[in-house]
Amino acid sequence: MTATALPSQPTVIPGPPGHPLLGSVPALQRDLLGTLMEGFHRHGDVVTYRIGARWQRLGSDLVAVYHPEGVRHVLTNPQVFGRRTAGFDALTEMLGEGLLTSDGDLWKRQRRTLQPLFTPRRVAGYTDLMTAEAERVVGEGQPGSVVDLHELMGRYALRVVGRALFGDEIDDVAPALLRLVPFGSDLSLARSMQIVRLPLGVPTPRNRRFRQVSADLYAIVDRILARRSDGDRDDMLSRLHAARDPETGQPLSRAEIRDQVLVFLLAGHETTAGALTFTLHLLGRHPEIQERVATGDSDLVRAALMEGMRLYPPAHSTERRATADTEIAGYRIRRGTPVLVSPWVTHRHPEYWPDPERFDPDRFLGDRDRDRPRYTYFPFGGGQRSCIGEHFALLEATVLLRTLLTRYRVEALDAQLRLTPLITLRPAAPVRAALYPR
């Protein structure tokens, strides 16, 4: 498949017919990832899901693009595929206009200003902090006891990002934050899937809950910001205050700093916690692979993490909106159409991933890793809106894996992971594992 026109291609994009009045909405709400996967198996690399009624004016089409070449086209052409989608609009209503949700010139300015905080050299400066937190979390495990990997990894990732941001522990607000995140994620996703979206000001029970969660999240940020005495610190918050747009010299406003802090707190812990949980679960189901990784060999640790994120990409799907008429694989995409790309599906594309469901970290070693086309694997997205925290997350995750696995043998106690795909992929239940000292 290519992103150029193929004259023999039909112009109607195939897809499931769905419910006459609701289209694929009930199926997507019931089982998002299963519905996407089924669409791929039945209809191929480009699939239309009807959102709402079949009559043109009472619904719209969501086009999912699963082939790596199509994914590249969507993620690397921001002039054609913009960010103002129902999903990002709902997130903006919840979290304000931080780097994840802002758009256009505002995003450009924010990214220019914040990028220097995330260079590999800057990120390497957090190694000691990450190691100390990994030791601390690992030290809390009772030998032989059963732990919930997701709870443990959530605590680790939040402590790391909290200390990196504020130079201090944020343990006092962590439980509230960890409790609010799935509510916020669930409400944002549900709002983005509503066929008719009432303004948040309309006091429906769901709108009230939405606004309350947003207010509670900001209250946590304000509490942390208020107690922090500005001194000579070298944390991310001081750098946010000191950061200047390299082109205009403009600093971030107070409101922008508040929004960025919230985005970093949320985007910076949930995804990494998920990646670690899923990888440890998989290693806990594959003792022979775990033994190799437990040697601490950095290539193997990295490969295990990459393979964990292949099978369970924390950011399982993302969306763009066509801002002009365009074409993908010969199919016409009309201006205004929402377009979805999904690491969950593309990471299982059998053309590029033989035996896709098998956990095999060796896929990420040597030539096999190098020879693969770029957008067969995109857990951190791609193009100009790719994850700013990628180096940070990779370092943080490999430090934890090495620390935990050299100390403990992990035995996963659940045969299957039950998942809830909200904005990010989350376990639907505790992910139980026993830790045995080595």
Among 214, 271, 277, 346, interactor with ligand HEM by CB under 6 A: 271
Query: What is the nearest approach in angstroms of ligand HEM to the Cβ of residue 392?
Result: 5
CB burial readout 114-130, b (16+ within 10 A) else e? beebeeeeebeebeebb
Q: What is the 3-state secondary structure (H, E, C) of the chain?
A: CCCCCCCCCCCCCCCCCCECCCECHHHHHHCHHHHHHHHHHHHCCEEEEEEECCCHHHEEEEEEECCHHHHHHHHCCCCCEECCCHHHHHHHHHHCCCCCCCCHHHHHHHHHHHHHHHCHHHHHCCHHHHHHHHHHHHHHCCCCCEEEHHHHHHHHHHHHHHHHHHCCCCCCCHHHHHHHHHHHHHHHHHHHHCCCCCCCCCCCHHHHHHHHHHHHHHHHHHHHHHHCCCCCCCCHHHHHHHCECCCCCCECCHHHHHHHHHHHHHHHHHHHHHHHHHHHHHHHHCHHHHHHHCCCCHHHHHHHHHHHHHHCCCCCCEEEEECCCEEECCEEECCCCEEEECHHHHCCCCCCCCCCCCCCHHHHCHHHHHCCCHHHCCCCCCHHHCCCCHHHHHHHHHHHHHHHHHHEEEEECCCCCCEEECCCEEECCCCEEEEEEC
Query: What is the nearest approach in angstroms of ligand HEM to the Cβ of residue 92?
Result: 12
Residue placing its CB nearer to ligand HEM in the complex, 235 or 411: 235
Give residues 184-223 in contact with ligand HEM (rule: CB under 6 A): none
Residue placing its CB nearer to ligand HEM in the complex, 264 or 377: 264
Query: What is the nearest approach in angstroms of ligand HEM to the Cβ of residue 155?
Result: 15
Q: Does 239 bind ligand HEM (CB under 6 A)?
A: no
Q: Does 263 bind ligand HEM (CB under 6 A)?
A: yes
Among 90, 267, 419, 433, interactor with ligand HEM by CB under 6 A: 267
Q: Does 275 bind ligand HEM (CB under 6 A)?
A: yes
Residue placing its CB nearer to ligand HEM in the complex, 6 or 255: 255
Rounded to whole angstroms, the Cα distance separating 389 from 272 reads 10
Residue placing its CB nearer to ligand HEM in the complex, 22 or 267: 267
Rounded to whole angstroms, the Cα distance separating 427 from 421 reads 8
Whether 291 contacts 304, CB under 8 Å: no
Query: What is the nearest approach in angstroms of ligand HEM to the Cβ of residue 87?
Result: 9
Give residues 280-319 in contact with ligand HEM (rule: CB under 6 A): 314-315, 318
Give the residue closest to ligand HEM by C-beta.
389
Give residues 372-411 in contact with ligand HEM (rule: CB under 6 A): 379-381, 385-389, 392-393
Please indicate if the annotation marks 387 as binding a ligand.
yes
Give residues 100-129 in contact with ligand HEM (rule: CB under 6 A): 100, 111
Among 264, 278, 364, 375, interactor with ligand HEM by CB under 6 A: 264
Q: Does 423 bind ligand HEM (CB under 6 A)?
A: no
Residue placing its CB nearer to ligand HEM in the complex, 22 or 221: 221
Residue placing its CB nearer to ligand HEM in the complex, 170 or 275: 275
- Dihedral sign for Cα 10, 11, 15, 19, please: negative
Query: What is the nearest approach in angstroms of ligand HEM to the Cβ of residue 315?
Result: 4
Query: What is the nearest approach in angstroms of ligand HEM to the Cβ of residue 160?
Result: 8
| Contact string (CB under 6 A) for ligand HEM, positions 144-183, x = contact | -----------------x----------------------
Among 23, 52, 268, 421, interactor with ligand HEM by CB under 6 A: 268
Residue placing its CB nearer to ligand HEM in the complex, 393 or 419: 393
Residue placing its CB nearer to ligand HEM in the complex, 59 or 109: 109
Site size toward ligand HEM (CB under 6 A) is 24
Whether 419 contacts 427, CB under 8 Å: yes
Query: What is the nearest approach in angstroms of ligand HEM to the Cβ of residue 381?
Result: 3
What are 51's two structure tokens? Answer: 């959102």
Judged by the rule CB under 6 A, the positions of this chain that interact with ligand HEM are 99-100, 111, 161, 263-264, 267-268, 271-272, 275, 314-315, 318, 379-381, 385-389, 392-393
Binding site for heme, by residue number, is 387
Numbered residues of the known binding site: 387
